[in-house]
Amino acid sequence: MSSRSERPWVRAPASASRAGSEPLMSPHVAVPVHEISQVGEARRLAVQAAQALGFDEVAAGRVALVATELGTNLVRHAQRGQLLIASIEREGGAPAVEMLSLDEGPGMANVSAHMVDGFSTGGTSGSGLGAVRRLSTEFDIFSLMGTGTVVMARVSGKTPPVGSLPEPRGGGELLFTVGAIALAAPGEIVCGDAWAIEQQGQRISAVMADGLGHGPLAMEASQAAVRVFQSDPFGVPSQVVERMHAPLRATRGAAVLMACLDGEQQQLTFSGAGNIAGRVISGVADRSLMTQHGTVGLQLRRLNDTRCDWPLHAIVVLHSDGLTTRWDLDQARGVLQHHP
């Protein structure tokens, strides 16, 4: 399939209401950061993303500082580090640049201590992570000794309090928290996967499509599937996916999974075809979401809908074949308490 990895994560932490589309997020650009010269490349790409979103000089400067601090930390303290950079556009809200810092060790035994200004394990001033948190609109960090660290920093075009979220249209609090990662296949400049999220009151609906092959033609197929979903995001999943079949005949075809979550009924309904996989994970449950055989736009049998319980505080993960279906969180259960 087309992308190295695409993963929408959906979590419901509380009860509230919201209506409308989730923020539009660009595919991520991955920048390996193993030496100091690569920090400059990551900073340049992050600032370009900020400028494309219309950030003023001050806001773009915050983006540059966060990219520099994250990149420098990777060079000094991490193994096999990289920065993922993406743009987020919110209807009615301020756009943001997202930077994800990922590494494979050594991890932190005490994350809170590393957030305090002046703490350092490398003979520096120790202001890196503390500065990143202060400059970020949204910030989160998870670390596991011997495994690695992930830092999420989102810098908005304006300066709301740290940790704040976009205001929901129509008032109320956010019912669901959503995160996603999309990476193009090696050697490609576009991602052949696509995803979309719609929220309405106590419900949220998600779709993921993975176009066959790589590059622009795969992207065309996956985006065609998303357009059908957006025309009826709260329809019966099997029926919506079946309606994708005709328009996708003019494309390479795609693997598709659509899932609808009802927070009030605490139930999830899903359907799809191809090798899009999913999991529902909570402190007491771990269930796989498996689609039927076939390819939307090429060969599709009559689809069925599958229903399962939606536990409180659960997280749903959808992913293409960029991830193995046998991954587990047995050694990192604490990550479930963090931003998806």
Domain boundary among 156, 185, 213: 156
Largest CA distance in the chain: 63
Question: Looking at the chain, how many residues does it have?
Answer: 340
pLDDT exceeding 70 applies to what percent of the chain?
84
The reply to whether 10 and 36 lie within a common domain is no
How many domains, in total, are found in the chain?
A: 2
| Same domain flag for 182 and 96 | no
Last residue of a domain, one of 101, 132, 156: 156
Domain that holds residue 221: 3-23+171-337
Domain match, 133 and 206 both: no
What is d(CA 6, CA 10) in angstroms, rounded to the nearest whole number? Answer: 13
C-alpha–C-alpha distance, residues 269 and 310, integer Å: 9
Residue 201 pLDDT grade (very low, low, confident, very high; cuts 50, 70, 90): confident
Looking at the fold, whether 275 and 329 belong to one and the same domain comes out as yes
Q: Within a domain: residue 69?
A: yes
212 and 298 co-located in one domain? yes
The reply to whether 141 and 267 lie within a common domain is no
- At which of 156, 180, 200 does a domain end? 156
199 and 306 in a common domain? yes
Is 96 inside a domain boundary?
Answer: yes
Query: Based on the domain organization, do 113 and 180 belong to the same domain?
Result: no
312 pLDDT tier (thresholds 50, 70, 90): confident
* CA separation for the pair 242, 178 (Å, rounded): 26
The yes-or-no verdict on residue 9 having pLDDT over 90 is no
Same structural domain for residues 17 and 150?
A: no
Residue type, 108: M
* Residue 317 maps to a domain: yes
Is 0.75 surpassed by the pTM of this model?
A: yes
CATH number at residue 271: 3.60.40.10
- 161 in a structural domain: no
Mean per-residue pLDDT over the chain, rounded: 85
Question: Do 127 and 252 share a domain, yes or no?
Answer: no
- pLDDT range class, residue 91, cuts 50, 70, 90: low
- The CATH number assigned to the domain holding 139 equals 3.30.565.10
- Asked if 14 and 47 sit in the same domain, the reply is no
Assess if residue 280 is contained within a domain: yes
For residues 201 and 288, membership in a common domain is answered with yes
Asked whether residue 323 is assigned to any structural domain, the reply reads yes
Query: What's the mean pLDDT in 160-169?
Result: 43
pLDDT tens track for 218-271: 999 999 999 999 999 999 999 999 999 999 999 999 999 999 999 889 999 999
Mean pLDDT calculated for residue range 97-108: 93
pLDDT digits (tens, 9 = 90+) for 35-81: 999 999 999 999 999 999 999 999 999 999 999 999 999 999 888 89
Query: Is residue 279 over pLDDT 60?
Result: yes
pLDDT at 45: 97
Say whether 227 sits in a helix, a strand or coil: helix
Above 70 in pLDDT, residue 125? no
Helical ranges in the chain per DSSP H: 36-52, 57-77, 111-114, 128-135, 215-231, 237-248
The CA-atom distances, in angstroms, between 307 and each of 93, 126, 225, 226, 269 are 34, 50, 22, 22, 4
**Residue 272 pLDDT grade (very low, low, confident, very high; cuts 50, 70, 90):** very high
Q: Is 165 within the bounds of a domain? A: no
Q: Is residue 269 part of a domain?
A: yes
